[in-house]
Amino acid sequence: MTAMPRFSESDAGVDEHLGGVIRTIGHDLRNKLGVMRNSAYYLNMKVGQQSEKLSKHVGILLKQIDMSSWIIGNLMDLTAARPPTFAETDLNALVSNVLRRSIIPEGVQVTRMLAPNLPMVRADAEQLGRAIENVVVCQCASLGEDHGLRVASRLYGGKVYVELADSGPGLPQEEEAHLFDLKLAGGFSPLKLGLVVARRLIELNHASLEVESKQGVGTRFTIVIPALDALQEPLSNL
């Protein structure tokens, strides 16, 4: 298992002006998607029960709206993620909340193995939660009904570990080596974008992201963050 190189602004390849354009358009698109989602939900409530076929297609529409909003959010975070606001965070509770809201395909089995009585960590819960969600969504996108995702947490050496291990096809070595390189040909896929943003948000929270993959076995992402008890400096928004 190896840690990924740290993210730098040049990794995004987006200048300040273009970043501002992306954020402005992204904000407008997310508002419109919110209206579309509310309308689709209302439609499903009113007529979905009358037609199984209609309900199925509204469900597909809602999933595509959610995925589109997720992609737009990642584009906005890529261009300018805000500085983190640190607070004591219950990592197990955060992981559980993320799993409830994440886009997980039907048939993918999620197993939780969260260690009890974990110490608190110092983090921006919104940012770290979004990072974990990105990893979950990207992993599940390659899984079929016969695959699963194991989510575990543990304490070791004054650090809290969150492991997300899937039983999917795994990654070729070359792809694993360039997993976070958006500058390669075809690099701007929504899933790779999600992983790049996840790494950026994790590093903003003074944590690290490690990845290990083997073809035919699966891929494991590990987030490592110091336990609050192990920190020397007082809690503050550094």
Which of 79, 107, 135 terminates a domain? The answer is 79
pLDDT of residue 233: 47
- Domain-embedded: residue 126: yes
- Domain-embedded: residue 2: no
pLDDT of residue 46: 81
Q: How far apart are CA 232 and CA 130, in angstroms?
A: 27
Percent of the chain at pLDDT exceeding 70: 87
Residue 114: burial class (beta carbons within 10 Å; 0-12, 13-18, 19+) = middle
pLDDT at 132 over 50: yes
- Domain-embedded: residue 204: yes
Token readout for 122 is 């110092």
pLDDT of residue 45: 85
pLDDT of residue 99: 97
Same domain, 59 and 127: no
pLDDT at 202 over 80: yes
Q: Give a three-class secondary structure readout of 56-110.
A: HHHHHHHHHHHHHHHHHHHHHHHHCCCCCCCEEECHHHHHHHHHHHCCCCCCCEE
Helix residue ranges, H only, the chain: 9-12, 16-47, 52-79, 91-101, 125-140, 173-177, 190-204
- Which of 76-85, 175-184, 191-200 has the lowest average pLDDT? 175-184
- Domain-embedded: residue 187: yes
- Which of 39-53, 69-83, 87-101, 106-120 has the lowest average pLDDT? 39-53
Same domain, 64 and 129: no
Same domain, 75 and 92: no
Same domain, 54 and 108: no
**Most confident option among 65-74, 148-157, 180-189:** 148-157
pLDDT at 9 over 70: no
Query: Which CATH number does the domain housing residue 116 bear?
Result: 3.30.565.10
Pair 78, 14: CB distance under 8 Å: yes
Specify the number of domains making up the chain.
2
Helices 125-140 and 190-204, packing angle to 10 deg = 150
pLDDT (mean) for 103-110 = 90
- Which of 65-74, 153-162, 218-227 has the lowest average pLDDT? 65-74
Structural domain of 45: 9-79
Pair 210, 222: CB distance under 8 Å: yes
Q: What are the φ and ψ backbone dihedral angles of 142, each rounded to 5 degrees?
A: -100, 5
Same domain, 74 and 190: no
Same domain, 67 and 145: no
Which of 79, 95, 119 terminates a domain? The answer is 79
Which of 26, 57, 79 terminates a domain? The answer is 79
- Domain-embedded: residue 31: yes
